[in-house]
Amino acid sequence: MTIKTPPQTPPVWTLTPEQITSETAKMIESTKSFHDSIAKIENPTFESVIKAMADMDNVRYGQINQLTFYHHVSTNKELRDSSSKAEELIRDFDIETSLREDLFKIVSAVFKQQPDVDPESKRLLEKMHLDFTRNGLALPEEQRNELKALQKKISNLEVSYNKNLGEESGFILFTPEELLGVPDDTLAQFEKVDGKYKMTFKYPDLFPVMKYAQLPDTRRRAFVGDQNKVMENVDLLVEAVKLRAEIARILGYETHSAYVLEERMAKSPEIVLSFLNDLREKLRGAGAKEIAKLLELKTVDQKSLGLPVDESFNIWDYRYYDRLLLEKEYEVDAQKISEYFPMQSTVEKMLGIFEVLFALKFVEVVGGDRSVWHEDCKQFAVWKDDSGEDEFVGWLYFDLHPREGKYGHAANFNISPGYTDANGKRVYPVTALVCNFSKPTANKPSLLNHDEVVTFFHELGHGIHDLVSVTRYGRFHGTNVARDFVEAPSQMLEYWCWQKAELKGLSSHYLEPSKTIDDDLIDKIVKSKHVNGGLFNLRQLHFALFDMTLHTSNGDIDVTKAWNEGRQEISLMSQGNETTYGFGSFGHLMGGYDSGYYGYLWSQVFAADIFYSKFRAAPMNTTAGLLYRDTVLKSGGSREELDNLKELLGREPNNVAFLTELGVKV
């Protein structure tokens, strides 16, 4: 394949705080002026109203995403603050726009015409009309004004919540004795303060302490500290739950969940709760057996360490004894395994898998040609080469290591969607993976444990979805699908991290690059896949049921009680006498997953069905990969997700593969 010059230049990352402020104001003003002109059209048509608004949105989405992305990744606090403020202003403006009666009337006029347009354009018109009706435009003016005020309050709460989470800089100081058992490599990365180790709540610090610290009180302090790290967010979430319930009531919905789920694949709270409670019932027995086994291990371990025997299994014990069980009974040594997955070569080989599956080519931009927001970033031009000639796909960024003020988890961010512009020309997407994997040290490169390999593969799956999607309108591009389906494509790709041949192909020992991981070690990893799977999924069920409990209420609910009691009852693990406030850092609930966390489990049903049906027998089958790419990924949200699945599978999807994978009898 001969690589040509990309037909589209990458974004430029040189905005100052002042420029973000001025660009945001300019965009809001020009958009308002444009909408004013649309609202005055006397003989509205699809072209003059719907397509014209979509053409503006196509451009605007990219502008918004870039302006608001800085607060996730910039090292400059002023830039982050300016970006965060821009998000707040844009959200407020969008709320104003969504409640404009004049725009609703003109969109409704086109909707009533039922114009003869292509299927994606018809879907756009339907969605645009539904947006206005769901925002209460059919209500009297007084109620509309009340809605507007409430929605702005929620928007501001969400911005503040996420800003607090992003700016979180808490830590605990531990003595060397308190960190007994934590690997030297981890300790070497900790800052020292007055002879003590500074453990932040970033994952590369926290998780090794939870997994390896031998003293129960160290694990307890780390767990409770992490749970309570953003206490200022507690009241923000409580207030948001009340406001959401009030908005649902005004709009005529029984609950916030009923409102949200109307547009999801699941359609209703009853269906979601039935799904979650059925799964909880099926997993409860497995979870109880797993707790009993871990408790036996804990008793032996405490005696061997000369510690008092604690007969309860606490939630801060889970990562430690899960790791110990894997090492002792399955001989899965996470540290040893990580030696075979140095980040540089592992990432290159992951990209190689996607090149085979989806006929892609990733060309890294190096040196002075890069256009990045931080020196740690990698930039790739992505091409497709299955049509006989090179075809540009879009731009991909990797920002993989933690730093001050940076988004603290792992996520894919769309910077700019793909679409067809007003002149019929293709505009290509830009997407970024933002992760927090440990940095290289003086003696070792960054090494990924197997969990991190899975995480990276998952997030890269979102990035690929973003890149290979080809839609006419940015609104439907890539991962802009029903929220309870959005995780399915990435969850499906996680299966490659548990296949023997693919794992071996990804591996390369950091000291001996030609040495791949032993077959015996791979067998142990694969065998361990669903060890404590009952408890893992019960933990997910706690999050999902907590979310549903909040959002099927009338807003008058004791959130702290629901969080703490629900965790003990569902996860089957004790919290001792601790009251925690982990919902203050449960970003999903203030980041678009309100009444939607169930989607992680719901979408796994589709992920398992796709993998078992199309890839299990031959994971690197390019024919199956291209069929999946062009049937599910390419159309983004421009078609009903269920229609895509039925076309791919040749039947209705079912949960047989999902339950089989979990070891539940079907």
Check residue 617 and report its DSSP letter.
S
Q: Which amino acid is at 469?
A: S
Beta strands 430-434 and 391-399 are parallel
Distance, CA of 235 to CA of 559 (rounded, Å): 10
What are residue 604's phi and psi, to 5 degrees?
-65, -25
The single residue of 290, 459, 487, 641 carrying the catalytic annotation is 459
Closest CA to 456 of 380, 359, 343, 363: 343
Closest CA to 209 of 176, 177, 185, 186: 186
CA 215 to chain centre: 33
Per DSSP, the residues of 179-208 read GTTS-HHHHHHSEEETTEEEEESSHHHHHH
Distance, CA of 601 to CA of 585 (rounded, Å): 20
CA 314 to chain centre: 28
Measuring CA to CA, how many Å separate 451 from each of 34, 203, 585?
48, 12, 21
Distance, CA of 25 to CA of 71 (rounded, Å): 17
Q: Which amino acid is at 200?
A: T
Distance, CA of 20 to CA of 27 (rounded, Å): 10
Distance, CA of 77 to CA of 88 (rounded, Å): 16
The answer to whether the beta carbons of residues 394 and 382 sit under 8 Å apart is yes
CA 356 to chain centre: 25
Per DSSP, the residues of 242-307 read HHHHHHHHHHT-SSHHHHHHTTSSS-SHHHHHHHHHHHHHHHHHHHHHHHHHHHHHHHHHHHHTTP
Please indicate whether residue 329 is annotated as part of the active site. no
Q: Which residues pair with 436 in a beta bridge?
A: none
Reduced to 3 states (helix: H, G, I; strand: E, B; else coil), residue 580 is coil
Task: Name the residue with tokens 């988004």.
Answer: 407
- Residues with catalytic annotation? 459
